[in-house]
Chain A
Amino acid sequence: GNSVTQMEGPVTLSEEAFLTINCTYTATGYPSLFWYVQYPGEGLQLLLKATKADDKGSNKGFEATYRKETTSFHLEKGSVQVSDSAVYFCALYSSNNAGNMLTFGGGTRLMVKP
């Protein structure tokens, strides 16, 4: 079956540091890949997505590149802010997912200190 593995958190960084959150996946075919962000006390928001190999998704200074050869979709940001403190979820959709379900990773908590 499909699966998504994320690095365990929490990840603690100082403001303006470089961020990488690793995400690797197992899936049949050519999945679509997503990053979601959950701010404290809120639901999940779609942050970015990529639908085919070598695509780069980007939004709000975050970016992730769909690497089929390494089955990875790592999230990066060049300079984090305190307001980026949140939980980040990597997810995928594959054609063998029933009912357009997404497979989610376990989430990675990011804490940014001033």
Chain B
Amino acid sequence: DVKVTQSSRYLVKRTGEKVFLECVQDMDHENMFWYRQDPGLGLRLIYFSYDVKMKEKGDIPEGYSVSREKKERFSLILESASTNQTSMYLCASSSMGAGVYEQYFGPGTRLTVT
């Protein structure tokens, strides 16, 4: 079974702090994704990566950056956390294999910025 893990289930940070959210997958997937989920807004893609050191902006990249130094790990960075970044953050991964497009999700990190 594919396993996607996220470093924390719950996180509380102060405004202005630098925040790192870590995601690790164990299935050698090429693609990795970061979403945020907010009530009434569904899932919104922040960034994705299709290879080591590669990154692409999603729908809402402002205020975020990412890092992918190793294939299995994809980090989301909030350079200076703000209260409007309080949200549930979901990481996902998928294979680049032909005809295989489903994404596998981690359990999520609920971030509160005070």
Q: Which residues of B contact A98 (CB under 8 A)?
A: 56
Q: Which residues of A contact B33 (CB under 8 A)?
A: 101
Of all chain B residues, the one with the shortest Cβ separation from A36 is B105
Q: Which residues of A contact B61 (CB under 8 A)?
A: none
| CB-CB contacts below 8 Å: A63-114 with B | 89, 93, 98-102, 104-107
Partner of A102, one of B101, B106, B107: B101
Mark B36-70 against chain A: 1 for CB-CB distance below 8 A, else 0.
00001111010010100000101000000000000
A42 and B43 form a contact (CB under 8 A):
no
Partner of B50, one of A36, A44, A89, A100: A100
Mark B15-46 against chain A: 1 for CB-CB distance below 8 A, else 0.
00000000000000001010000001111010
Q: Which residues of A contact B99 (CB under 8 A)?
A: 32, 51
Give chain A nearest CB distance to B70 CB in angstroms: 18
Q: Which residues of B contact A46 (CB under 8 A)?
A: 102-104
What's the interface size class on B, roughly? 20 to 34
CA of A42 to CA of B105, assembled, Å: 9
B43 and A43 form a contact (CB under 8 A):
no
A93 and B101 form a contact (CB under 8 A):
yes
Contact of A34 with B by CB under 8 A: yes
Partner of B43, one of A34, A49, A51, A104: A104
A104 and B105 form a contact (CB under 8 A):
no
Contact of B90 with A by CB under 8 A: yes
